[in-house]
């Protein structure tokens, strides 16, 4: 198949999934065309069957805002015609799905099929914005097939945007070769972490929805009982406030702000627990990456996190904002090796069975094939 993919190429779960899927599809022999503003960061070197088409937006004095959407749509149309694409896979309803639809209208070849994958923020944040909601609805309804990364997000889409469209859930995955199941204590020395200290980790873009305040409160309660360090990876709007909070709580020696990191695998390898206590989260790809490495998760009951972690079997779920429960579960896991190993073993089996890269790629391939065969016409 000849597949065009548009996503945000920078760090962020949606860009990672779009890129990793493109790599898997290319490995299976499909021709994959990324139509993006930059080379997606997970593509480290040229790969067979992958072509990158850069969307370059020019600025003119007449424009108050550079017209990314029109430029992207024009580029999509060019790529559809030049490479005779069968499928356009757009990640995010706005602007990408809408640009895909516009691009198809501009192209000579009109029978290219459009799949749109919803990732979360495009619905749970932008869906509430009346200046965008109808655009999101349009992007969903005019796509030939729409997928969501969790059942929770599909339901939220029906509730918030009310599209007249079926939405299929296809879960996220990790490409196994990127996340080796391995715990490496020796890495702790680089960060001055003592051997007896347990390591908790959180990775995000430090938006308010990530509730890093609850992560810090949870850690403070763990730290009161147990030598431990918290690694905070990422950057974003909450960073300075969270640094101030850590200083106020006098935890600056035990909470390490490690900034934005493109490659997180080795950080997970020194961690014992991963925390994701967001108030909105369609899936929580960081959980899956950490779990594949062997790190047991504690998540909030927001959105799709409950579909990723099976409470009491593969990790624990707590209410949003409940740092007491999160710290209680964390201490249980850190102090009971048998419990930790049981959950870890369940977790590794479960993620292989439900979120394996071959399985999920098969699902996308299946729906591409159905689209091409006209099943959704
Ligand atoms: O979490 C973010 O803010 C980044 C965002 C994105 O657009 O990349 O992530 C969303 O998509 C990921 C991949 O499907 C999901 O794992 C994240 O849960 C989702 N984020 C939210 O729903 C807040």
Q: State pTM to two decimals.
A: 0.96
Cβ atoms of 334 and 344 closer than 8 Å: no
Query: Residue 285 C-alpha to ligand 1 middle, in angstroms?
Result: 7
Q: Given pLDDT bands bounded at 50, 70 and 90, which one contains residue 262? A: confident
Which residue in the block uniquely carries the two structure tokens 């308010």?
A: 208
Q: Given pLDDT bands bounded at 50, 70 and 90, which one contains residue 142? A: very high
Mean pLDDT value across residues 337-364:
98
- The kind and range of the H/E element at 288 are helix 285-293
Mean pLDDT value across residues 62-89:
96
Query: Residue 281 C-alpha to ligand 1 middle, in angstroms?
Result: 7
In the predicted structure, residue 99 carries a pLDDT above the cut 80: yes
Q: Give the CA diameter of the chain.
A: 66
pLDDT at 46: 87
Q: Which of 358, 271, 272, 354 is nearest to 28 (CA)?
A: 358
What does the block give as tokens for 228? 């431990």
pLDDT at 45: 85
Angle between helices 212-223 and 239-248 (to 10 degrees): 30
Query: Residue 16 C-alpha to ligand 1 middle, in angstroms?
Result: 10
Query: Residue 122 C-alpha to ligand 1 middle, in angstroms?
Result: 9
Mean pLDDT value across residues 168-181:
95
Please give the number of the atom of ligand 1 that sits closest to the Cα of 92.
7
Domains 2-173+356-373 and 185-355 share a fold: yes
Average pLDDT in the chain: 96
Which CATH number is 185-355 given?
Answer: 3.40.50.2000
Mean pLDDT value across residues 1-24:
93
Q: What is the pLDDT of residues 276-310, one digit of tens each?
A: 999 999 999 999 999 999 999 999 999 999 999 99
Query: Residue 108 C-alpha to ligand 1 middle, in angstroms?
Result: 34
Please give the number of the atom of ligand 1 that sits closest to the Cα of 204.
1
Q: Show me where the domains of the chain are located.
A: 2-173+356-373, 185-355
Which is it for strands 2-6 and 31-36: parallel, antiparallel or unpaired?
parallel
Mean pLDDT value across residues 220-229:
98
What are phi and psi for residue 142, nearest 5 degrees? -85, -10
**CA angle 157–159–162, rounded 5-degree value:** 70
Please give the number of the atom of ligand 1 that sits closest to the Cα of 14.
8
pLDDT over 90 percentage in the chain: 94
pLDDT at 11: 67
pLDDT at 106: 98
Mean pLDDT value across residues 99-105:
98
| Residue 51, burial from CB neighbour count under 10 angstroms (0-12, 13-18, 19+) | middle
Query: Residue 303 C-alpha to ligand 1 middle, in angstroms?
Result: 11
Q: What is the pLDDT of residues 114-124, one digit of tens each?
A: 999 999 988 99
CB neighbours of residue 229 within 10 Å: 23
Residue among 285, 287, 304 whose CB has most ligand 1 atoms within 8 A, to mutate: 285
Which CATH number is 2-173+356-373 given?
Answer: 3.40.50.2000
Lining residues, ligand 1, CB within 6 Å: 12-14, 17, 119-121, 124, 149, 172, 205, 207, 209, 280-285
Nearest residue CA, atom 23 of ligand 1?
281
Lowest-pLDDT range, 82-91, 235-244, 255-264, 315-324?
255-264
Mean pLDDT value across residues 44-72:
93
Cβ atoms of 326 and 219 closer than 8 Å: no
- The rounded radius of gyration (Å) of the Cα atoms in the chain is 21
Please give the number of the atom of ligand 1 that sits closest to the Cα of 288.
16
């Amino acid at each position: 198949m000849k597949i065009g993919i548009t996503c945000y190429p920078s760090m962020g779960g949606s860009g990672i999934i779009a890129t990793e899927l493109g790599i898997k599809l290319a490995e299976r022999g499909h021709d994959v065309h990324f139509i993006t503003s930059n080379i997606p960061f997970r593509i480290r070197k040229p790969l067979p069957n992958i072509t990158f088409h850069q969307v370059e937006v020019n600025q003119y004095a007449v424009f108050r805002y550079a017209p990314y959407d029109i430029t992207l749509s024009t580029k999509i149309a060019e790529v559809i015609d030049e490479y005779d694409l069968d499928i356009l896979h757009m990640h995010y309803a706005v602007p990408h799905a809408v640009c895909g639809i516009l691009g198809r209208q501009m192209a000579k070849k009109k029978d290219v099929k459009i799949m749109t994958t919803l990732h979360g923020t495009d619905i749970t944040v932008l869906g509430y914005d009346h200046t965008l909601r109808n655009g999101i609805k349009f992007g969903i309804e005019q796509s030939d097939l729409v997928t969501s990364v969790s059942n929770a997000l599909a339901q939220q889409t029906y509730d918030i945007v009310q599209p007249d469209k079926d939405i299929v859930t296809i879960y996220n995955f990790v490409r196994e070769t990127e996340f080796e199941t391995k715990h490496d204590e020796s890495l702790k020395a680089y960060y001055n972490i003592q051997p007896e200290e347990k390591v908790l980790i959180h990775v995000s873009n430090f938006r308010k929805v990530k509730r890093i305040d609850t992560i810090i409160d949870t850690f403070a309660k763990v730290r009161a009982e147990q030598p431990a360090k918290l690694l905070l990876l990422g950057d974003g709007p909450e960073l300075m406030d969270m640094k101030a909070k850590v200083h106020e709580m006098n935890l600056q020696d035990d909470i390490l702000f490690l900034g934005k990191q493109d490659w997180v695998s080795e950080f997970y390898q020194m961690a014992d627990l991963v925390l994701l206590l967001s108030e909105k989260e369609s899936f929580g790809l960081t959980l899956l990456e950490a779990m594949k490495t062997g790190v047991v998760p504690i998540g909030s009951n927001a959105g799709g996190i409950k579909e990723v972690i099976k409470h009491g079997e593969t990790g624990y779920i707590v209410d949003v904002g409940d740092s007491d429960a999160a710290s209680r579960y964390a201490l249980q896991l850190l102090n009971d090796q048998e419990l930790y190993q049981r959950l870890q073993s369940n977790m590794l089996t479960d993620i292989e069975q439900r979120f394996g890269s071959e399985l999920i790629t098969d699902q996308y391939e299946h729906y591409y094939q159905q689209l091409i065969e006209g099943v959704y016409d």
